[in-house]
């Protein structure tokens, strides 16, 4: 009988690969510094810090780790003055308390003893834009038409002060101190603006977006900071859950086309209907609505506490967690306009909200959803462990 001897091969990590791994670990730690409770005492007064607070058991924190290291690496390579750190909020509870951390992961920037909270998308580009915006000048000066056009090409929304020192400029600066976490603020002399911009008087504050501009009018628009906050998004955009949540601060309704990823023919038609309405009837609805499309319906499903039809239309009011649904099928721009008019006149009744009964419903829904997720997890674990 022929016997075949089976040999077991033991693999070892090549020394070069091991060395590269160590170097990579060292380089990553050089970009992102681990911070503890001694941070506030040891940091330099002029240092600017971008900090992620995490908990070891937080799965979302772990998902953010690669992005966070990319942020640290890129800021370092660009020569940014921003230092990037992270802190285990469960181990360094004193530092977490200093920054009033309530959930994980939390992203904040510290600049001259002022703390700025980041609430945008957990993406490299979103975090980098926040870091560069807040770390830079509060109000950026545009001293030439070339600089103005360059800024226009880089930013979807620009908030610009035009004129000399005035009480309005003081209000503008105060608004910038709070809203710099969301928007870029600029100042420019009159002759820097495009020739088609008409200003009846100076000083003035303008918002440039969507290929046009709006001028602040205190008699019509009220408080300057409230107006800027209301106008800080493009009129039509692709919306994710972070953006939609932030839109609740604007006190505007949001008309959404809920569409499939990849935009099949029907989804594309729904998206185009919303975009056309936003563009052609901007003057009619701009004061009351933002417009957009959303590919991930999980947030809306949680809002209405039910499944949603894709594609479909919905108007949401994130200031009170309310929403509106069309009374009839929407097939044309005219149908969509009637839907918006019904929301404004009250002929279409709001659903949802944050009243006492609705809060009880939401508690039951959240509990049920959590139990379903746990059941799926436990079932999956059983299969995996067999």
Q: Based on the residue annotation, tell me whether 58 is a catalytic residue of this protein.
A: yes
Using CA atoms, how far apart are residues 335 and 337, in angstroms rounded to an integer?
5
**If we measure between CA atoms, which residue out of 293, 276, 287, 259 comes closest to residue 337?**
276
Q: Looking at 55, 61, 96, 348, which residue is catalytic?
A: 61
Q: Tell me if 85 sits within 8 A of 49, measured CB to CB.
A: yes
Q: Looking at 33, 37, 43, 58, which residue is catalytic?
A: 58
Q: Where are the alpha helices (DSSP H) in the chain?
A: 15-31, 39-42, 59-77, 93-98, 124-135, 145-154, 167-179, 218-221, 224-230, 241-247, 265-280, 282-285, 298-304, 333-345, 356-385
Q: How far apart are the first and last CA of the chain?
A: 37
Q: Based on the residue annotation, tell me whether 264 is a catalytic residue of this protein.
A: no
Using CA atoms, how far apart are residues 72 and 83, in angstroms rounded to an integer?
8
Residue 131 exposed, middle or buried by CB count within 10 Å (0-12, 13-18, 19+): buried
CA 360-363-365 angle, 5° bins = 110
Q: Which distant-in-sequence residues (6+ apart) come within 8 Å of 70 by Cβ?
A: 124
- Side-chain half-sphere CA neighbours of 79 within 13 A: 0
Using CA atoms, how far apart are residues 111 and 170, in angstroms rounded to an integer?
21
Two tokens at 254?
């949001």
DSSP per residue over 289-336, as a string? EEEEEES--HHHHHHHTS---SSEEEEEETTTTEEE--SS---SHHHH
Secondary structure (3-state) at 220: helix
Residue 298 exposed, middle or buried by CB count within 10 Å (0-12, 13-18, 19+): exposed
Using CA atoms, how far apart are residues 246 and 324, in angstroms rounded to an integer?
19
Residues identified as active-site: 58, 61
């Amino acid at each position: 009988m022929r016997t075949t001897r089976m040999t077991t091969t033991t693999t070892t990590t090549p020394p070069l690969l091991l060395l590269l791994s160590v170097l990579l670990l060292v380089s990553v730690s050089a970009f992102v510094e681990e911070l503890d409770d001694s941070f506030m005492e040891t940091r330099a007064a002029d240092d600017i810090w971008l900090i992620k607070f995490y908990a070891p058991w937080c799965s979302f924190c772990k998902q953010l780790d690669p992005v966070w290291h990319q942020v640290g690496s890129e800021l370092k390579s660009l020569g940014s003055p921003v230092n990037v750190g992270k802190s285990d909020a469960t181990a360094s509870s004193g530092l977490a308390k200093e920054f009033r951390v309530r959930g994980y992961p939390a992203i904040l920037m510290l600049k001259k003893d002022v703390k700025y909270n980041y609430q945008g998308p957990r993406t490299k580009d979103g975090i980098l834009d926040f870091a560069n915006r807040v770390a830079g000048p509060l109000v950026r000066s545009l001293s030439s038409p070339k600089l103005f056009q360059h800024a226009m090409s880089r930013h979807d929304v620009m908030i610009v002060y035009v004129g000399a020192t005035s009480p309005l400029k003081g209000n503008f600066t105060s608004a910038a101190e709070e809203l710099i976490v969301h928007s870029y603020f600029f100042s420019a002399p009159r002759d820097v603006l495009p020739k088609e911009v008409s200003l009846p008087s100076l000083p003035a504050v303008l918002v440039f977006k969507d290929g046009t501009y709006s001028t602040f009018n205190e008699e019509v628009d009220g408080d300057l900071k409230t107006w800027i906050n209301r106008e800080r998004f493009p009129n039509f955009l692709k919306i994710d859950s972070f953006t939609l949540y932030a839109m609740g601060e604007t006190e505007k309704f949001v008309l959404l086309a809920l569409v499939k990823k990849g935009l099949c023919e029907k989804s594309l038609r729904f998206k185009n209907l919303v975009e056309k309405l936003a563009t052609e009837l901007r003057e009619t609805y701009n004061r009351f609505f933002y417009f957009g499309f959303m590919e991930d319906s999980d947030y809306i499903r949680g809002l209405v506490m039910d499944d949603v039809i894709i594609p479909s239309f919905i108007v949401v009011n994130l200031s009170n967690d309310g929403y509106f649904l069309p009374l009839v099928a929407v097939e044309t721009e005219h149908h969509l306009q009637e839907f918006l008019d019904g929301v404004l006149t009250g002929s279409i009744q709001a659903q949802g909200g944050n009243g006492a009964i609705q809060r009880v419903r939401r508690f039951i829904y959240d509990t049920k959803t959590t139990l379903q997720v746990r059941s799926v997890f436990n079932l999956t674990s059983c299969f995996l462990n067999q």
